[in-house]
A and B are shown apart, each in its own frame.
Chain A
Amino acid sequence: MHLSLALGLSALLFGIGVYGLLARRNAIAVLMAVELMLNAGNLDLVAFDAWWRDHLHSGQSFALFVVVIAAAEVGVGLAIVLSVFRLRETVAVDALTDLADRDPVVHAGADDVTVAP
């Protein structure tokens, strides 16, 4: 089969993942978009392994390592999402703006912004 078929599918899947990562508001939906992007990378690894006929099978082995890292990432990510939900009662990522780099001039009058002396 043609290699560009697999690579094109992987590129489009990655683009869909980028869209989901930026457009979603729910933190769990953002994690799902990250999984789509990781799978696009996995498909590339497996396709190049089959194309190159690698004797070490490094592409497929690396795909397994990516699966392991994705499992670890989802575990820690969901733990963070759960503790954020326990503290804030929300998982909307655009409501969690405490660490945002605001312009101090615009918010100088607000009492939640401490201006450095």
Chain B
Amino acid sequence: MTLADVVFGLLGVVCLGSAVLVVTTRNVIHAALWLVVCFGALAGCYLVLTAEFVAWVQVLIYIGAIVVLMLFGAMLTRAPIGRQQELDSGNRPVAALAGAATGGVLFVLVVAAFKGAYVDVHNAAVGDGKVIGTAVFRFFVLPFELASVLLLAALVGAVVLTRRDSNRIDAGR
């Protein structure tokens, strides 16, 4: 039990607790804010695992962009700000069963499969910006370019989907 184990365990408890609150709270805005806590704890986990650049990308993209986008979406769809009973659907017991089964099977499987595996975080090469930049632009150039094309396509698709005059059927009624 080293210091890395203790720090990772505490961050994991914060992450799991806030993740449970994300899927159980009755307010969409509160769920988005708990998502910030969960992603922040996960960024700390990445730092413990020596993935420095991924941790900062997590903070910048996930917390800074994706959660803010979801807050915008919640407000544009006029989500009730107060408590809301009907946020959960009727299949909650079945969903709890499916979630517990998936999580339980995966947990038992991976913990049994990698029981003695040990990550030497002190002698690992820290994944800072220089190392990851070299890896991405030397070995993963083609996936990187494909990702940029995918982002452009998603951007154009989102603009086309949300344009008002693209819903001609609705306007003709």
A positions within 8 Å CB-CB of B: 1-26, 28-29, 31-33, 35-36, 39, 42-43, 46-47, 49-51, 53, 56-58, 60-61, 63-65, 67-76, 78-83, 85-87, 91-94
Cα separation A19 to B73 with both chains bound (whole Å): 22
Interface size on B, residues (CB 8 A): 94
Instruction: Find out whether the CB atom of B66 lies under 8 angstroms from the CB atom of A70.
Output: yes
Instruction: Find out whether the CB atom of A57 lies under 8 angstroms from the CB atom of B135.
Output: yes
Q: Which residues of B contact A72 (CB under 8 A)?
A: 150-151, 153-154
Instruction: Find out whether the CB atom of B15 lies under 8 angstroms from the CB atom of A35.
Output: no
Instruction: Find out whether the CB atom of A26 lies under 8 angstroms from the CB atom of B79.
Output: yes
Instruction: Find out whether the CB atom of B89 lies under 8 angstroms from the CB atom of A23.
Output: yes
Cα separation A31 to B74 with both chains bound (whole Å): 11
Min CB gap A22→B, angstroms: 3
Instruction: Find out whether the CB atom of B121 lies under 8 angstroms from the CB atom of A50.
Output: yes
From B9, B135, B157, contact of A76 by CB (8 A): B157
From B38, B114, B144, contact of A36 by CB (8 A): B38
Query: What 3 pairs across the A-B complex have the smallest Cβ distances?
Result: A15-B103, A19-B99, A20-B23
Instruction: Find out whether the CB atom of B73 lies under 8 angstroms from the CB atom of A82.
Output: yes
Instruction: Find out whether the CB atom of B147 lies under 8 angstroms from the CB atom of A1.
Output: no
Residue of A with least CB distance to B21: A16
Instruction: Find out whether the CB atom of A9 lies under 8 angstroms from the CB atom of B89.
Output: no
Residue of B with least CB distance to A73: B154
From A4, A15, A29, contact of B28 by CB (8 A): A29
Cα separation A37 to B117 with both chains bound (whole Å): 24
Cα separation A43 to B45 with both chains bound (whole Å): 8
Instruction: Find out whether the CB atom of A14 lies under 8 angstroms from the CB atom of B102.
Output: yes
Q: A9-B15, A56-B139, A61-B136 are in contact. Are A14 and B106 (CB under 8 A)?
A: yes
Cα separation A2 to B69 with both chains bound (whole Å): 35
Per-residue contact bits, chain B 65-102, to A (CB 8 Å; 1 contact, 0 not): 11001101110111100000011111110111011101
CB of B172 within 8 Å of the partner chain: no
Residue of A with least CB distance to B169: A87
Q: A50-B50, A79-B161 are in contact. Are A15 and B79 (CB under 8 A)?
A: no
Instruction: Find out whether the CB atom of B8 lies under 8 angstroms from the CB atom of A5.
Output: yes
